[in-house]
Structure 1
Amino acid sequence: MTTMVSAAEEFVPPSAPDFWQPLVGTGAFAVTRSMIVMLLVTLVLAVVMVAATRRLSVVPGRGQYYLEGVYGLVRNSIGRDIIGSAHFRPYVPLLFTLFTLILLNNLMGIVPPVQFPTMSRIGFPLALALGVYVVYLVAGVRRRGLGGFLRNLVPSGLPFWVVPVVFLLELVTFLITRPVTLTLRLFGNMFAGHILLLLFALGGEYLLLHGEGLLKLVSLPAFLMFFLFTAFEILIAFLQAYVFILLASVYIAEVYADDH
């Protein structure tokens, strides 16, 4: 692209280092923009939850109505339907917290002046995925005992010489593959989406300011794609939060699979 535009300033496309953005300090102990966004989201959620539930009533106000709608989606469509009506209640607070936290953090990618999706930094979805797996493993061990939990990894009826191989594969799947894929699914979608938004916005700006002649007109479709992808990111933000708790519920439901 740079060969087709004025050489006054070279266009630098967005890349992974642009997501680091340290605000205070350097290295591993730097306070980054993503940390500030996560803190802001946590404070906003706390204020909204307290304000919406401070005066609960049989006929809900607007805030209580919307909050109950989100809670009902998580409780009934995810928790009860997937984990099962006999066991889902202890996990509803976890699922509701994960859903609202992930959703609002995702939406921060398109909310001015923040415009930074926290989950595009892999450490945040990794921490959430590990939290889910701690809950899953503790629930499994408490229900079946450590020996029963490990035995349940291998289907019954297999030839004895196959059991060690299947056990190792299942152990890797449960302890490594699942948390990694749960992390990468959320991280990858939010990272890629924000890269596209930056590319269209910065590319359109560069063509408008530094393009020559009719090339400036190419900035118009670039800006149009930016607005279209912004609207699309709203859908992605919701879907990724929904899919995360959906998969978390599926994994937890396996602990109680013998009751269904």
Structure 2
Amino acid sequence: MATTGEALTATGYIQHHLTNAKMCFDESGVAFNYACQDAGFWTWHVDSLLFSVGLGMLFLWLFRKAGKKATTGVPGKFQCFVEMCVEGVDRIVKDSFSGRNALIAPLALTIFIWVFLMNLMDLVPIDFVPEAANRLLGVPYLKIVPTTDLNVTLGMSLSVFALIIFYSIKVKGVGGFTKEMTLNPFNHWALIPVNLILETVTLVAKPISLALRLFGNLYAGELIFILIALMPWWAQFALSVPWAIFHILVIVLQAFIFMMLTIVYLSMAHEEH
């Protein structure tokens, strides 16, 4: 797919599909270039925002609809699916979360379904939506998989990190949280600087690893689909179908890992000792 009417090279094709649609702002705060490249910090990846927020709203609408139509009689297929998701996540939270917090189960369910839906966009043929956007709307770049954007995965992980800090201080108090950071693992005042460095690295590593794990797996999967699309048509079908089937496992597994680690991290934040 070319934006100038000329065929893209293999390198250009890969770069094109890995480029976000951007809304940039100058010093006066006015948007000036939809496909800008070097605009600094104040740049919006509008495709990531559009699809992530849209899929989140789709999740809320579908589950609300299932809840309103829930019946004690013979449930429909979608109600069975929703009940399986809710009961499965609730069971995982009861087994993995040691504290008492009514927020954890809804948060875990939201994370799992939302991340799953964003990952699922990776199974849409890579040229289908971008080509339609280019022809109908004149949008030259469009990435439809939000989790292949580090800004999205890091934003979600930083939200989890904020909850970790909040509940650590709420449950343990400022003094307890300070002691945890300064007197662990070596319970001696002389080793407070060492403890603080070790605990700070451990704490900061949680959101970074959470974001990079999800981003890396989905970005690699998307890149493989792009490389397959560069091959002859007969090879594309022979390779894309097996990879898509295998990638379904990656899509579900990465959503589950992100949810599971969130539960574990928040459980650790609720441990008073």
TM-score by length of 2: 0.77
TM-score by length of 1: 0.80
Match of 2:82 among 42, 58, 67: 67
Q: Which amino acid aligns with 1:128?
A: M
Q: Paired residue for 2:249?
A: 235
- Choose 101-110 or 226-235, whichever is displaced more: 226-235
Match of 2:219 among 179, 191, 198: 191
Spell out, residue by residue over 1:28-69, the C-alpha distance to the aligned partner (whole angstroms, 9 max, x if none): 445633222223312321221121111222233322221010
- CA drift of 1:248 comes to 0.8
Q: Which amino acid aligns with 2:105?
A: V
Q: Residues of 2 paired with 1:48 and 1:26: CA distance?
A: 33
Q: Paired residue for 2:184?
A: 155
The reply on whether 1:19 has 2:18 as its aligned counterpart is yes
Q: Paired residue for 2:68?
A: 54
The reply on whether 1:94 has 2:107 as its aligned counterpart is yes
Question: Structure 1 residues 223, 131: CA separation in 2 closer, same or farther (over 3 Å shift)?
Answer: same
Question: Structure 1 residues 17, 141: CA separation in 2 closer, same or farther (over 3 Å shift)?
Answer: farther
Q: Which amino acid aligns with 2:19?
A: W
Question: Structure 1 residues 96, 199: CA separation in 2 closer, same or farther (over 3 Å shift)?
Answer: same
- Choose 138-147 or 28-37, whichever is displaced more: 28-37
Match of 2:150 among 109, 122, 131: 122
Q: What stretches of structure 2 of length at least 5 have no aligned partner?
A: 1-6, 24-33, 37-41, 130-142
- CA drift of 1:156 comes to 6.3
* 2:189 counterpart SS class: coil
- CA drift of 1:230 comes to 0.9
Spell out, residue by residue over 1:166-211, the C-alpha distance to the aligned partner (whole angstroms, 9 max, x if none): 222211221x211101000000000000000110122234xxxxxx
Is residue 126–residue 183 contact of structure 1 (8 Å, CA) maintained in 2?
A: yes
- CA drift of 1:17 comes to 5.6
Aligned identity (percent) is: 24
Is residue 185–residue 195 contact of structure 2 (8 Å, CA) maintained in 1?
A: no
Q: Which amino acid aligns with 1:93?
A: P
Is residue 214–residue 258 contact of structure 2 (8 Å, CA) maintained in 1?
A: yes
Q: Residues of 1 paired with 2:83 and 2:66: CA distance?
A: 9
Is residue 52–residue 64 contact of structure 1 (8 Å, CA) maintained in 2?
A: yes
More helix by share: 1
Question: Structure 1 residues 36, 258: CA separation in 2 closer, same or farther (over 3 Å shift)?
Answer: closer
- Choose 145-154 or 234-243, whichever is displaced more: 145-154
- CA drift of 1:100 comes to 0.7
Q: Which amino acid aligns with 2:89?
A: V
Over aligned residues, Cα RMSD in angstroms? 2.5
